[in-house]
Amino acid sequence: MTMSTTAPMRGASRGVAMRGGARRCASSAVRSGAAKRAGGVLARAGLREVDEASFDAEVLGSTTPVLVDFWASWCGPCKLIGKIVEKADVEYGDALKVVKIECDGNPALVEKYKVYGLPTLIMFKDGVCVEESKNEGAISYDKLKVWVTQHAGIAAPAK
């Protein structure tokens, strides 16, 4: 029996795995845009992944505040806050747009917004990055609600 040499090498380097189309998203809702069950409630399908090509229209052109989650599939803390970001998307509804940007595939955005650590959350409002809104590292949902109120001016959803 011989081994195929045409099969892609998974895990050889994170750049190869990411650019080779083997990207893993934090959830199936991000991948497909389809609604899913979250805590017994049907989640809305608003959480989406944007890239350098769609960033201006999806983020800078948005009429509502936008929470941008810079993440990577190989980042453990990114996976931890993935569910928190999804929860915020559902609970804030149409008051807040939540998007994810995969860092390995979007180096120009990483450089432009000086994303040095992952995960990084940045709030955008009225087409610009909200000053002092960058949050690097994992964050609890309670702290995220305070952060959203502080940087987007949106009251936390009722429990």
Strand 48-49 versus strand 120-125 pairing type: unpaired
Alpha helices (H) in the chain, listed in sequence order: 14-19, 28-32, 55, 76-92, 107-112, 141-152
Distance CA 70, CA 122 (A): 8
Which are the catalytic amino acids? Answer: 75, 78
Distance CA 157, CA 66 (A): 16
- Could you count the other beta carbons within 10 Å of the beta carbon of residue 23? 15
Task: Give the gyration radius of the chain's Cα atoms.
Answer: 17
Distance CA 9, CA 7 (A): 6
